[in-house]
Amino acid sequence: MTGPAVLREPPFRVPRDRADLQLFLQAALTLEHLTIPPYLTAMYSMRPGTNRPAFYAIRGVVLEEMLHMTLVANLLNAVGGTPLVANSRFVTGYPALLPFSRDRVTVALRHFGVKALETFLRIEQPEYLSGPPHHPSAAGDAEGWTSVGQFYDTIREGVLRLSAQLGEQRLFSGDPARQVGPEHFYNSGGEVFAVTGLASALKTLKVITDQGEGVSMSVFDSDDQVFGEAREPAHYFRFNELLQQRAYGPHDTPATGPTGPVVDVTWRDVHPIDPGAKATHYPRGSAVRRAAEEFNEVYAQLLCLLEDAFTGAPAGIGAAAPVMLRLRGLAERLYRNPHPDPAQRARGLYAAPTYEVTDRHFRRARAALAR
């Protein structure tokens, strides 16, 4: 049995030049996508009609992760890069080791429950909880980033340095026609905006980190300041609300924990799954195997649509919404099936999507989209 997949991390340093910055931003794009299949798995594994607070909380986070992918792609395009999405090198196999973490945290496709939420908390863990080094300029025995927030701090420092060295206009010289704007993309959490210079680049990085871990050691994001929208608990704290089964009040802090109303969570209302499931675990030719393969192909279609939107056809991002709805239907169809393996079925496990997307899936997805 092989170990968890390992994402390739950029060198532990501030980006030195344009190519280096593009490398870091592609890594950030891959990182943002890494979170989406585990979050979707937890969301889709809930039995229909149950755990509505948890379903909508996770759904809100997924929408914001899609927003983050789009904003990172805009920033990458603005500095002359080309986002890579519809390629097997982009898609992480699961289980995978969480990148930019000092600890060996395994990110697996788990059904909604305590283990899944504990992993989600580790993914979204605020920088101040992650320990030193706090910045890649740290000296001595510093070995690497210890949180996603620290990695984004590195990108921010690189953007500032390169803008000063090269000049803002020269650094942000990418094709503006590749920018996905609010006219192309609607999201219930924040908004998409074009990256045209240093101010919008720094705004992009602020939105991503604040929505993930909160503002200045607070519980809440900065959507009220940036977008004029109601502020919400950041991702880390939304997941903690579910784990603690209690909401954060308006005056709560990370130290107080949530002291607001009870959040109704029923752990039993899920379809338990094998976190190491693969399509090959289902009998060849069976309805479950065909459904798992169809899910992977439709997921490949989603990534193709996103890449097309990020590389010159931003208006096409609207086509991703119906594909997401189709994925939900396919996932729920899979979860209704007890696992075809007798031993797994005896443990009460069900079939599940596996998010294995190969070059073959991308070829078939391109052909399907062309029809």
pLDDT at 186: 62
Q: Tokens 């788990």 sit at which residue?
A: 110
Q: Tokens 């039993």 sit at which residue?
A: 268
Q: Determine the Cα–Cα distance for residues 14 and 23; give it in Å rounded to an integer.
A: 11
Assess contact for 356 and 341: CB atoms under 8 A: no
| φ, ψ (nearest 5 deg) of residue 157 | -65, -40
Name the token pair of 63: 């929408």
Q: Tokens 């080791």 sit at which residue?
A: 97
pLDDT at 189 over 60: no
3-class SS of residue 38: helix
DSSP secondary structure of 56-69? HHHHHHHHHHHHHH
Nearest of 195, 163, 213, 160 to residue 71 by alpha carbon: 195
pLDDT at 142: 54
pLDDT at 339 over 90: yes
pLDDT at 137: 42
Lowest mean pLDDT segment, chosen from 16-25, 88-97, 142-151: 142-151
Q: Determine the Cα–Cα distance for residues 14 and 18; give it in Å rounded to an integer.
A: 11
3-class SS of residue 178: helix
Q: CA 17 from chain center: how many Å? A: 26
Please provide the average confidence, as pLDDT, over all residues in the chain: 92
pTM of the shown model: 0.94
pLDDT at 188: 47
Neighbours of 267 (CB within 10 A): 12
pLDDT at 185: 72
3-class SS of residue 5: strand
The Cα diameter of the chain in Å comes to 64
Neighbours of 340 (CB within 10 A): 15
Helix axes 287-310, 52-78, angle to 10 degrees: 40
pLDDT-derived band at 3 (thresholds 50, 70, 90) equals confident
pLDDT at 138: 41
pLDDT at 1 over 80: no
pLDDT at 139: 45
Nearest of 182, 230, 228 to residue 70 by alpha carbon: 182
The reply to whether omega before 133 is within 30° of 0 (cis) is: yes
pLDDT at 132: 59
pLDDT at 46 over 90: yes
Q: CA 157 from chain center: how many Å? A: 22
Lowest mean pLDDT segment, chosen from 26-35, 146-155, 304-313: 146-155
pLDDT-derived band at 235 (thresholds 50, 70, 90) equals very high
Helix axes 320-335, 18-44, angle to 10 degrees: 40
Name the token pair of 49: 């009609």
pLDDT at 177: 95
Average pLDDT value for residue range 140-158 = 82
Assign residue 144 a region (left: φ > 0; alpha: ψ between -120 and 50; beta: otherwise): left
52's CB contacts (< 8 A; 6+ apart) are none
- Domains in the chain (CATH in brackets) are 18-269 (1.20.1260.10)
Q: Determine the Cα–Cα distance for residues 102 and 233; give it in Å rounded to an integer.
A: 25
pLDDT-derived band at 302 (thresholds 50, 70, 90) equals very high
Assess contact for 68 and 211: CB atoms under 8 A: yes
- Of residues 271 and 4, more confidence is placed in 271
Please report, rounded to a whole number, the percentage of residues in the chain having pLDDT higher than 70: 94
pLDDT at 190 over 50: yes
Lowest mean pLDDT segment, chosen from 39-43, 62-66, 229-233: 229-233
Lowest mean pLDDT segment, chosen from 10-14, 130-134, 202-206, 252-256: 130-134
Average pLDDT value for residue range 234-263 = 96
Average pLDDT value for residue range 80-103 = 91
Lowest mean pLDDT segment, chosen from 74-88, 97-111, 137-151, 239-253: 137-151
3-class SS of residue 350: strand
pLDDT at 133: 52
Assign residue 281 a region (left: φ > 0; alpha: ψ between -120 and 50; beta: otherwise): alpha
